[in-house]
Amino acid sequence: MAQPLPFYQVDAFAEGVFSGNPAAVVPLPFWLPDATLAAIAAENNLSETAFFVPLGGDRGFHLRWFTPTFEIDLCGHATLAAAFVLFNELGFAGPRLRFDSQSGPLYVEKMGGPDSGLLALDFPSWPPRPLAVTETMARAFGAAPLEAFVGRDLLCLFADEDEVRGLVPNLAALHELPYICNIASAPGRPGGGFDFVSRVFCPEVGIPEDPVTGSAHSLLTPFWAARLGKTRLEAFQASARGGRLSCELRGDRVRIAGRAALYLRGTIFV
């Protein structure tokens, strides 16, 4: 007999539905086999499906993320979505959640009062190191970057926001770059309300272009904080759906804040 499981779809880093990055959230009483988790994520066919199980007492939850093809080590928007479900659908009463994950302990807390809807992720900071620009990068992004940097992910810098928005990447060439996320970024337009903009391409894990990528801001936040000389930054990911992120560098951690909206609640049977 098929086992029913609760299912939620949440638009994260969004001011309302149909914007931001959609994530599936599947709360579990205990871990199912990895093959089943992977099959659920493939069936959902969203950039990420988040699964969590309670750890008992006040220890929080164990959180994992799957793309349609890959279990990933850190995902921001699906963490935000999981926290949204716990706070708004499952009755978690505290102001702050703890998740254990492949990237260590992660925290999500409510900000700005009970009705603001703003949730802040506490994530690791991943400052990148310089890397030589290559011809493959230029082919992959459809334009030659001015500079390149690398950590877990690749960061390629371009002249301005308009260039980043207008990039037409070559997905076949992106597959030649050995990184989970390939990030294009530039300063925001003067007076445009954003310190920097980005787009993120992840074909190696089944995501040609990710709508809004919280984990990429573990790299982007320390980079732009150093480049712009400020620790608080407003960011926009300029995908077709788009998403706004409020970022702050806090030593070896970053705070990444945004809102979320429930699109769907239901039941799946596995």
What is the rounded distance in angstroms from the CA atom of residue 196 to the CA atom of residue 241? 17
Q: List CB contacts of 60: < 8 A, sequence separation 6 or more.
A: 54, 97, 98, 99, 100
What is the rounded distance in angstroms from the CA atom of residue 18 to the CA atom of residue 23? 12
Residue of 43, 48, 204, 248 with catalytic role: 48
Of 140, 198, 142, 136, the closest CA to residue 168 belongs to 142
Query: Domain 4-122+258-269, what fold?
Result: Diaminopimelate Epimerase; Chain A, domain 1 (3.10.310)
Architecture of domain 129-251: Roll (3.10)
pLDDT along the chain (270 residues), means of 10: 92 94 97 97 95 90 94 94 97 92 94 82 96 97 98 96 97 94 96 96 89 95 98 97 95 96 97
Q: Give the per-residue pLDDT at 93.
A: 87
Q: Is 77 in contact with 67 (CB distance < 8 Å)?
A: no
Boundaries of every domain in the chain: 4-122+258-269, 129-251
Q: Is 197 in contact with 188 (CB distance < 8 Å)?
A: yes
Q: List CB contacts of 33: < 8 A, sequence separation 6 or more.
A: none
Q: Give the per-residue pLDDT at 114.
A: 67
Q: What is the pTM of this model?
A: 0.91
The dihedrals phi and psi of 195, each to the nearest 5 degrees, come to -75, -35
Task: Characterize the bridge pairing of strands 61-66 and 71-72.
Answer: antiparallel
User: End-to-end distance of the chain based on CA atoms, in angstroms?
Assistant: 9
Q: Give the per-residue pLDDT at 213.
A: 93
Q: Active site includes 163?
A: no
